[in-house]
Amino acid sequence: MNYLTDPEAIYQRSFAIIRDEADFSGLPSDFHPLITRLIHACGMIDLKEEIRFHPRAIDSGKNALTEGAMIFCDSMMVVKGIIRRHLPAANSVQCMIEEDAVAEMARTNGITRSMAAVDCWKPDLAGSVVVIGNAPTALFRLLELLEEEANPPALILGFPVGFVGAAESKQALLEEATRKDIPFITLLGRRGGSAIASAALNSIAMGTT
């Protein structure tokens, strides 16, 4: 069998294929590396048609990470996908979904653990970077906190996946973040997931070095 075994060669060949097959015309050049990595994370060239973003999203994310912003994740899968060596300030990466207090809060209030975890983010939400790659209810709850005038994060990376609430939560993010002028990046529709969410964060972090 004949196949590539060098990791860097595999990456470069993958990115070359994406550049050859994807038409990035009409998209800001500073977003090209990020969109390339999102496509690479899932193998779907047509992903770029559904990506939506605030024009300051990358700059806001870079600045926040460089200044030591906390990173909040909705699932441990997202946490595991973050490449720590690229974080410019040894940023704290937090996921509270498995904490006993979160499980108890969810049971008591009749909500998902993802929602309860987001409630625990509130004291440190201002200026943070939020990465959601699993639960639509986490994104919905974050938007509710912002409607209640919680201090906004510096960047929301919203990529929940699935058939119930995923498309709706991301459409709500697009509308609410645009209205409130909060930097965000999202992927419309049902597609998403932890690999795409962490790829977005990694791309922004790599741009700080």
Q: How many CB atoms lie within 10 A of CB 188?
A: 16
CA distance linking residue 141 with residue 113, whole number of Å? 11
Please answer whether residues 115 and 138 qualify as being in contact, where contact means their C-beta atoms are separated by less than 8 angstroms: yes
- Of 32, 40, 54, 86, the catalytic one is 40
Please answer whether residues 126 and 151 qualify as being in contact, where contact means their C-beta atoms are separated by less than 8 angstroms: yes
Q: Which residues, including other chains, have CB under 8 Å from residue 143's CB and lie 6 or more apart?
A: 169, 172, 173, 176
Q: Which residue has the tokens 């998209």?
A: 27
- Note if 86 is an active site residue: no
Q: Edge to edge, what strands does the sheet with 71-73 contain?
A: 51-53, 184-187, 155-158, 129-132, 71-73, 93-94
Write out the catalytic residue numbers.
40
